[in-house]
Structure 1
């Protein structure tokens, strides 16, 4: 991957310089660990109340630190709410385990951890709601225990998701981190594994910095999007590694909640997953997305834009550059009929650039404009490795 030095920063200070070249309108620099207001020590027991109390009593601009002892490294937690201006710091060697009982995360209708219902029966493990200047700092780990059988249900979170797929039913499991209506959130050098559902959801918010995230879920863990950006703006995701069972990143724009825009995805490494995706909900518009310096390897999809007749809209001002796609089944995708859903919306995708893209190994390129307002215009500039790919092109004009 290219280093940030080529954007006028020297190698020795590139982590400290602002990412001024990117689509995020903020001046983003490497975060610094906040001052500690209180330290809690691991005891391998339910620490939900002690962590929550410490967070509520912490001064703004400071963080609650979770640290290990000589014999203990694990904190167990139920749902946590992080207040405005306060952060959580998970020290090296510490694991914050989500408790593996569905009742702990139930919203009150006894549907968390079950099939059926509206799929919204669980509280997130960690919630940021109407807050600003908060975050989570590593280098410790959050383990959602998606792989562990629940103590009060006959399955694990992931087994529940797979059972729902087979039966074509909804199900309820907790998202790991949910952010709503918030500003200037930071997630720095954090390790996440075994998320029960989506990893980090940034919804109707402004200002997200994800720097040095390491998120690892198995490739067959259903509905484990790593990062979802929903109707939000000013996002930078950089120097991060993601491997998961669904989208690495999904950028969405629901008609009821607004567009997503000014998003920078700079210098990252992705393993297994369903792609760096825009969609499938794009009805409110997705624009000003800059992807620069990305490696994706051993994945189902690479750079993907997807929609269908139910919630298609405008996608524009998207730049993909300096990207390597190695052993990716579908390296480049623009698919306007991603799913066969009913509706009368159409995709309006334009000003999408591919620059200096390297495709390694056999792959397929999918450009399907059957549900677009006009044929897709695909401009491939310095895209290498095309001699070893299959093409699926419908109602699209490809220029190489």
Structure 2
């Protein structure tokens, strides 16, 4: 193990490598961060048309299905070369509708598209269970200031403040597991996608899902999912490239922004200027991680009341590199342990999902200008066959205190790996790391409960190499 300290003083508290590090803070100018252009590029359409679903017979009464009218309007709009399909104020109950090339759905203010709640409201294939679905389409979008609502409460079998028990259609043989519910909106193998100025509410399962898409722009919109409902993710980005998310408000029970790689790599994702609240991870890479993640930027984001702030859960052999988290304000707290997460502001892990899974790697991570108030510390964990390397923390402030009554002292490796493991809490918990640089980092401990933690740094010496600490502070305060 090689450790390089650039400090004025080091005080060793015990033989278990417990350190209190004191140094005068030096000013440091953060590096300039280049954001990609957020200009939406779409092919200009000659003479785009506007069609109202009411002209095709939609009642908008929220009782009778308007599926046929909506789909007919979409089909005719696409066949005419593209344009907008308008939903005037009203409530439009529908089965799955298929968005076609060149069509933008304009759900106007005081208009709501309601997803059906019966299994027969959705296609036979579980992979196509969405209220709105675009497949192999170009130049498509959703806007208008209105709402698309999945009626998620209708899928609750039993309400529970810890975690709701949800409907599962696996008893029919249509699917397996306990997550057999429809998603809200899906874009599958699409190009030039734009979603803006729309409210996505109460998904029964995932809310906005991108699958193998290219050139997607999501901005100035909101997502709301019940805080006690599992699996109602905000935005899931699967195997998709060149994605921009900006000026979004996401308030939901499960992961808020979740890149995944099931069948291909994920490149060039930027998420900026957004507000997130979730009972799970605010930003989570994985856990589906069979292919590469590269070139991701998360900047100017506020995270509140979450169970985990910034998370990487690499479980399936894919490699992660060149990821930047910058200008992020985080508040994390404990919830019931049935939810993954233990209040970590930052959580970076790579380990095999099971005995047959490959082990991926994580390298070249930058955390710059991060402020956090949390009930637990940072957790960085590689594995024996796939470690973490070249991780840098620059200009970071961590404030640790306890305000809930949930038990601490647990490390959460889920899914797979080791599950929940007893381990003393610390400011930084580290294992299987090659190359960690910490510069201008402050840790503040508030209250007697947090002061009982063993140490600001907890690492397993045999698995940690090349650590550089520059201007690292740790101070305790009574409350």
TM-score by length of 1: 0.81
Specify the structure having the higher radius of gyration (Cα): 2
Query: 2: CA distance between counterparts of 1:371 and 1:175?
Result: 37
Which ranges of structure 2 fall in alignment gaps of 5 or more residues?
1-31, 55-59, 334-342, 402-425, 439-479
What secondary structure sits across from 2:72 in the alignment?
Answer: helix
Q: How many residues align?
A: 353
Output one character per residue of 1:83-109: Cα deviation in whole Å (capped at 9) or x when no partner: 10111110001111112222211517x
Which ranges of structure 1 fall in alignment gaps of 5 or more residues?
1-7, 9-19, 109-119
Return the offset for 1:128: 0.6
Partner of 2:66: 47
Partner of 2:209: 201
Question: 8 Å contact 1:91–1:139 — kept in the other structure?
Answer: yes
Partner of 2:114: 97
1:175 to 2:183 alignment:
yes
Output one character per residue of 1:272-317: Cα deviation in whole Å (capped at 9) or x when no partner: 2422111122231000101111000001111111122xx1221111
What secondary structure sits across from 1:147 in the alignment?
Answer: helix
Partner of 1:67: 88
Query: 1: CA distance between counterparts of 2:437 and 2:399?
Result: 12
Question: 8 Å contact 1:77–1:96 — kept in the other structure?
Answer: yes
* Higher relative contact order (Cα pairs below 8 Å, separated by 6+ residues): 2
TM-score by length of 2: 0.68
Partner of 2:270: 264
Return the offset for 1:327: 3.3
| Residues 1:105 and 1:386: Cα distance change in structure 2 (over 3 Å) | same
| Residues 1:235 and 1:122: Cα distance change in structure 2 (over 3 Å) | closer
Return the offset for 1:186: 0.6
1:390 to 2:427 alignment:
yes
Return the offset for 1:56: 0.6
1:249 to 2:257 alignment:
yes
| 1:293 corresponds to which of 293, 300, 303 | 300
Return the offset for 1:66: 0.4
Return the offset for 1:253: 1.6
What secondary structure sits across from 2:271 in the alignment?
Answer: strand
The worse-fitting range, judged by mean Cα deviation, of 228-237 and 325-334 is 325-334
Query: 2: CA distance between counterparts of 1:375 and 1:88?
Result: 44
1:3-152 equivalent positions in 2, closer than 5 A: 21-23=34-36, 27-28=39-40, 37-41=50-54, 42-44=60-62, 45-58=64-77, 59-68=80-89, 73-107=90-124, 120=126, 123-148=129-154
The worse-fitting range, judged by mean Cα deviation, of 155-164 and 129-138 is 155-164
Q: Name the structure where strand makes up a greater proportion of residues.
A: 2
Query: 2: CA distance between counterparts of 1:365 and 1:193?
Result: 32
| Residues 1:54 and 1:393: Cα distance change in structure 2 (over 3 Å) | same
Partner of 1:327: 332
Question: 8 Å contact 2:379–2:429 — kept in the other structure?
Answer: yes
| 1:362 corresponds to which of 375, 394, 403 | 375
Output one character per residue of 1:64-83: Cα deviation in whole Å (capped at 9) or x when no partner: 11012xxxx21101000011
Query: 1: CA distance between counterparts of 2:146 and 2:269?
Result: 26
Cα RMSD of the aligned pairs, angstroms, is 2.9
Query: 2: CA distance between counterparts of 1:213 and 1:296?
Result: 17
